[in-house]
Structure 1
């Protein structure tokens, strides 16, 4: 059995967004034309076909029995990290990690405890089983909502953010956004500004998580302010200096949240599944 080597990375939890939750603003959700999330049990995965990207959405406010079941699948390293948390942070961490293991295991045809992970220089995770590589994947959570993206043949990145008032919002936008993006955010007020900020942030995080660097290592290098409803092909400099093409699109989730997906090319099919527990 493999032992997972899990660690905190700036790709998943950027310190500039790590602020206490405030009361969620009352605003209307954006109207995106895209597949609706279909209710699915966690064990209702299927073989990932080439060209297909599957996104799972799950609430991580698990009940006690579900929490215990998911916790039992975690590795020693994950349990050590869990021991450093309490309350909602503990529940969200254990539930998110447990769901990720169950979904990956179902795709790979193994038990959740038979998965191992290794990490790139910037912390991008990769899953392994005793028989080889697992599928490409990425995970993000904000508040009690988590998203999980999977593909058999291309890198993926996903990000979700709860829309809320944030301290230093303009400062963060100036640091990480393009000049055009920062200007558009600064030109709005209150709920509209918070919503647009979250949309831009998730697009950029999804892109840089797919690339494998995280937004903290690529501030302001790509402008995603004019993206179409069905997404866009964007060009982003690689570490070698050459431009690479990536596909980015918004994903409509629950009211009060913004989300985005990035993959190497536009998927032939995008399956969105709303996870529920047996």
Structure 2
């Protein structure tokens, strides 16, 4: 959902959906853009999940693991429904799946974060070699394609910052990307499917998924944070 579409009426509607802790966090933001991103993504996940189960958006409850990954409260008795969230300048995203290991991450293509300084912590040696030969928008796109795919993988694993992402190496020369994991990752790269999407002209979105016994199929949907009818 592009935040250009997030008008005052939608903001008010989303605010009415928030739980007490979500409202407290909303009220604590000092930055207006960060506050709107949080509000939009919380409204988006609630109204989107209600498309798949007969639960009103305001009645969803959530918990989080010790690394902060959110999940549907077990007390609701919902099975076979999992999600991942991302929010950034100008865009919020919610990935929904029938399996637990799903992750999404979004970044603006022109984000100014000092790529040369970040590269040693994010990119593998081979990725850095290619990165160092690039310039301009190609360099930005290469870095943020890798960044979003790796962040999506970290979210899907649900282990927070404990993973050394430079040990996750992705070959972007093939489509879809192929991953190779160092021993420190302690995972089988063949379990994972990675996809990079351009859902707007301004953003790169990464998806990482460990799909049980099937091929990964992605169905993008542009929507609003408040997106009735609740059932597809």
With the length of structure 2 as denominator, give the TM-score of the two structures: 0.84
**Paired residue for 2:147?**
201
Match of 1:139 among 85, 92, 96: 85
1:59 aligns with 2:5: no
Per-residue deviation at 1:183?
Answer: 2.0
User: What do residues 33-62 of structure 1 show as CA deviations (whole Å, max 9, x unaligned)?
Assistant: xxxxxxxxxxxxxxxxxxxxxxxxx12341
1:82 aligns with 2:56: no
For 1:157 and 1:144, how far apart are their aligned partners in 2?
A: 19
C-alpha contact (below 8 Å) 1:209/1:215 kept by paired residues: no
Which 5+ residue runs of structure 2 have no aligned equivalent? none
Deviates more, 1:229-238 or 1:133-142: 229-238
- Cα 1:242–1:193 change in 2 (3 A) is closer
**Paired residue for 2:157?**
211
**Paired residue for 1:35?**
none
Match of 1:188 among 118, 134, 152: 134
For 1:126 and 1:165, how far apart are their aligned partners in 2?
A: 29
For 1:218 and 1:255, how far apart are their aligned partners in 2?
A: 30
1 or 2 for the larger relative contact order (CA 8 Å, sep ≥6)?
A: 1
Bigger proportion of residues as strand = 1
For 2:124 and 2:66, how far apart are their aligned partners in 1?
A: 25
C-alpha contact (below 8 Å) 2:119/2:128 kept by paired residues: yes
The 3-state SS of whatever aligns with 1:95 is helix
Which 5+ residue runs of structure 1 have no aligned equivalent? 1-57
C-alpha contact (below 8 Å) 2:170/2:177 kept by paired residues: no
With the length of structure 1 as denominator, give the TM-score of the two structures: 0.71
- 5 Å matches for 1:18-167? 58-61=1-4, 62-85=6-29, 86-128=31-73, 130-133=75-78, 135-167=81-113
Bigger proportion of residues as helix = 2
The 3-state SS of whatever aligns with 2:94 is strand
C-alpha contact (below 8 Å) 1:156/1:261 kept by paired residues: yes
**Paired residue for 1:271?**
219
Aligned length: 220
For 2:149 and 2:136, how far apart are their aligned partners in 1?
A: 20
Per-residue deviation at 1:121?
Answer: 2.1
The 3-state SS of whatever aligns with 2:169 is coil
